[in-house]
Structure 1
């Protein structure tokens, strides 16, 4: 039977805690905020106010958005690799969740971060790339069908525990936490979807919308 306490003791409690702290603060790095500041723009006061890829795309254009996306994904990848190196697969999953939480609730930005989609994808990519790519495909289908980023994000998030049951059954509980958090962060989007008021994504002009 799996003994969590024995596992923690085997890698050392200090290393266990250190890995999680590093992962969390990796998540605190906000490329959207840093890139926009370099251009004398505060992305948190423009567009939707969300420091994420879609808002950067609308406010600053595709190059800045692409850089934001890549860095956010890499944060998730690096955090998982650190966890795996220090304590194996269990710590890798925990660090993936920690970097995801660090992105959404960053202490250095007064716990006001993004919605975690790109960073969560990066974590899943490092944990199991097939799992991650299926989630990406589901998100893409949802987005293309609805023209709403939130729909793609929510459908992908909903698929996480289902896919985890097949690809990573030992960690379905931890990965389900990610789904719950994504739904919490998208509660305003969900309300607008129910009311039929959620705007479609447009790349032709800036919009004051709350993206995923």
Structure 2
């Protein structure tokens, strides 16, 4: 049984990681003849795609990044519930969620240079626990609406997440703290600009 658990767990995590390597920002950029990592902010994420390529490309990027997070968690739940034991499902879901999240941020197929993981993290949260996903979405929406800064919404949501996760279900605390720290690490340049009052704002009219 232990060997079976290890083999299935490793396979599910590896598949989830490579699912995270699918970078719509980079691939859509290439379709337009550009390297998105060399344009705008240089980040392979929705906000930069919006600034460089427009709304349609940004929406496609956002949806793909969200749904790959969802699919990876569903894979983890399936592996846990049907191939192992039902009690493994939540933990396999979290493991695969973390793997797809890391695969998005550090994709081996793109030289370990991916996005910041916010959209994929949202997809992971919605699949692991809709309550956690919607709570984080609410924080992002309110923060961005008040500040017009997407990065601030991501940072505030990351800081809030471990507390919300611990309150909702302590099983998610360590997992949530790790994901939050990674998001904050990936936003270190944004945090520096926020402190200096130099962070870019988005225009809702546009």
TM-score by length of 2: 0.92
Aligned to 2:85: none
Q: Is the 8 A contact 1:11 1:86 kept in 2?
A: no
Aligned to 1:151: 152
Higher RCO, 1 vs 2 (CA within 8 Å, ≥6 residues apart): 1
Q: Is the 8 A contact 1:104 1:115 kept in 2?
A: yes
Deviation of 1:202 after TM superposition, in Å, equals: 3.5
Write the distance in 1 (CA, Å) between the matches of 2:201 and 2:182. Answer: 23
Extract unaligned runs of 5+ from structure 2.
81-88
Q: Is the 8 A contact 1:58 1:203 kept in 2?
A: no
Write the distance in 2 (CA, Å) between the matches of 1:90 and 1:76. Answer: 15
* Partner residue of 1:57 out of 50, 53, 78: 50
Aligned to 2:24: 31
Q: Is the 8 A contact 1:161 1:172 kept in 2?
A: yes
Aligned to 2:83: none
2:43 alignment partner, SS class = coil
Aligned to 1:80: 73
Deviation of 1:67 after TM superposition, in Å, equals: 0.5
CA distances 1:40-66 after superposition (whole Å, capped 9, x unpaired): 122111111111001111111111100
> In the alignment, does 2:104 pair up with 1:111?
no
Runs of 4+ residues deviating >4 angstroms? none
Aligned to 2:86: none
Cα RMSD for the two superposed structures: 1.5
Write the distance in 2 (CA, Å) between the matches of 1:127 and 1:51. Answer: 24
* Partner residue of 1:19 out of 12, 30, 37: 12
CA distances 1:68-97 after superposition (whole Å, capped 9, x unpaired): 000000010000000111011101001101
